[in-house]
Structures are given as C-alpha cells and as structure tokens.
Structure 1
C-alpha cells in the first residue's frame, strides 16, 4: 500500500512540475532560472510555461509526450526537446500551445539567427548547446507571453539573450558573406579565362 501511495504522489508531483528534465541536459543554475521564470509568469498571467526534455523511449509525438507529463487544464506553452541520438542526424524540438494565438511559435523556432532563439543555438558549435538553447528559447517564450499580457517579468533575461544571439549571428553572417565573395570571385576568374569565339 505504501508503495502505491508513493507512486501516486510521485506522479502527481510530476504532473504539477513546471520543468521536467528527463534527458538530464540542464545544469542546476539553468534549471533554477527556468523554474523562476515559469513561476513568475504563472503568478502574473495565469499561463503555464513548461519545459520538457526527454529521450522519448516510446517514440510518441511531441504533443503526446507533453500530455503524458503535464496536467494540461489551463492555458499553457510547452517547450519540448528530444535531444539528438548518436544514430540520428537531428533531435526534435517544438512548442506545444493551448491556443495558437498565445505567441508566434514560428518566430521562436525560426532557423534564422535574427529571429529564432532555439535552432540557431542548437546548430552552433558551442560546447553547451542545450543549456544555452533551452534557456534562451524558454526566456523568449515567457517574455513574449508576458509582453502580450502587458506585464513585465523581473526574472527575464532580455538583453543577455540578444547578446548571445548576436555573438552567433555575426560569425554566421560573416561566413556567408565570405562564401559569396569567394563564389563570385571564382566565377569571374573562370569567365575571364574562357576565350571568346570572335
């Protein structure tokens, strides 16, 4: 009987959790910051912002996976990430919303560094991509929701989020510009070597 009660209490606590890191990707400082932001957003807007990392052993869709971990009764936004495995090229990430008008999830999930806050970091060569991507992405979600409701989050990371993305954006744009210059230069040289038939 005690064993059953312990399992029931554990399951109830899991359903009431704000952040679930089953894949063990987050360091304690990031985990604490995410929980603080989520709690403050809930307190000020009555909207739940959750984050779930999982290895997804049962191969569920990300929406099904989220619904097994959280009690989805109120308005919510859930950032779900299944990390890349050794035998796979990419992981999976999505934002599950109770209402599609809650925020522009396509902007948050954009691969472009000037708008997206998750995928550009996951694609970067940083040592700790998951902590950076999840912290920045979750903060972006929480701040967008707070802004739409006319409240300000004291726990927001705002400018530091943009600074991190700037450090990724400039090398990426620089590399693209360099590649374009090399391509154009080679094309012009090749064209100037072709003898004319006149």
Structure 2
C-alpha cells in the first residue's frame, strides 16, 4: 500500500507529464501558425525587403513551386501569361534546375536568386515530400526577407488533407483560386495575380 504522500506525488508527476506532452504536441502541430503569428507581429515596414530588391542580384523574377503532376497547368496557363505576356523570368524545376546537382542545393539557390516565390497548391502538392520541403524552405526564406508568398490553388483541397504548413499559410495569406472555364473568373484570377506580382511586374513595365 502506498502512503497518501506517495499517491499525491505520483498523481502530481503524471499530471505534469501529461500537460507537458499536450503542450508540446500542440506547439508542434501549430508550429507554423505560431511562427507566422510572431513574424507578423515583429515584421518591419518593408525596409529590408526594399533593400534586398534594390541591391540583390537576381536570375529570376518568380520561383514557381509545384508538383510535377501540375506541370500541364503550369505550361498551359501560368507560363504563357507570366513569361509571354508579362515578360517575367520564371524558374521552373524541370527546365531550370541544374542537372546532376543536389536537389536541395538547386532549391536553395533558385529561391534565393528569385525576387518572388509563387506556390501552386493542389491535391498532389499535399502528398509530395519535395513540395512540402520547398514550402517549409520558402516560408523561412519569406520570413527572413520580409516577403510574402503568393499562393495559387488549382484544386479544392480538403482541410483535413492539408499539412500544418499549408494550413498555416492558407489561414494567414490571401490566396488566389483558379476556376476552370469561366471567362470572367479567369480574367479576375489573372488580375489578382498581376496585383500580387506588382513588385516585379512594375519593374518589368518601366
């Protein structure tokens, strides 16, 4: 038989452990929400971002992060609009990554030498480990440079399927949803995307 003091100590210890595990689990699950919240609270007035754009050396205007299953949409819709009509230089992994180089190095170099990052969210993006790595890397890069990611959704991704990072981004960032077939909605989509790219689009227009 345990004494009352021993029972109290055991109960106290178990409670502390359970509370600690619960807090740790919540922090891990919502880590990107917390990081983005802290970033929004502490971010500057854009001075760092302006300095980077003025003094940085860039190879591309926009780095496009997308799953290979969405290559058809990127080639058919995104590339003609942004490269051919707006004259922007896009970085596409299947075209612009250096052959034989480590994928992580390719991602890091291309993101750091692009003025903006655009991510194409889809059902296949959710399931791709490389896309999730790119998202985490690009989120950190955006916070380091006081930038904002541009998010385009080409599918209706169910909330239950979103990763923690995707959920955090979609709750804190105004994303642009692609609508198939509707002329007015498609024109509105491109108008919103041009507005999101105004930093680099204005530069090209001057």
Relative to its length, the structure with more helix (as a share) is 2
The TM-score normalised by the length of structure 1 is 0.30
Tell me: higher relative CO, structure 1 or 2? Use CA pairs within 8 A at least 6 residues apart.
Answer: 2
The TM-score normalised by the length of structure 2 is 0.29
